[in-house]
Amino acid sequence: MKDVICQGCNKPIRRRSELAVVGKTFLTYHRDCYARASLGTRFVHGYRINGPALWYILFLINGMMFGALFFLPNVKMDGEFKTILIFGNAVIIGIRLLSYIFVELRVPKD
């Protein structure tokens, strides 16, 4: 199996706890290299995929959707609402799952 190489220092990543997966193309960095590169932006593509940011976004999406159900009288749990809710959750969970399958499983666990 191929080593997972850090995009910052071009050295192999030996432990999963050192791994930071970033961006739409699943760029791999050591956590320290990622911190030095200052890649964080305000959007999902700049955050670590294997970090807490995706779970915060998932919580925020669900909170806003269910908040709309309770606080806005004209919002109903109809087909369009369910579609938006399912799509929002599926995209974020799908990104995390792809990151785990294609990148993280190749790095030995601590």
Sign of the CA dihedral with 62 first, then 64, 66, and 69 last? negative
Is residue 2 domain-resident?
no
pTM, entire model: 0.73
Residue 21, strand partner residues? 28
Tell whether 1 is covered by a domain. no
Establish if 11 belongs to a structural domain: no
Is residue 99, in this structure, part of any structural domain at all? yes
- What's the structural domain count of the chain? 1
Domain holding 39, by residue range, is: 16-106
Beta bridge partners of 35: none
What does the pLDDT profile of the chain (110 residues) look like in tens digits? Answer: 688 999 889 999 999 999 999 887 888 989 888 877 765 555 444 678 888 878 888 888 888 888 877 787 777 777 777 788 888 888 888 988 999 999 999 998 87
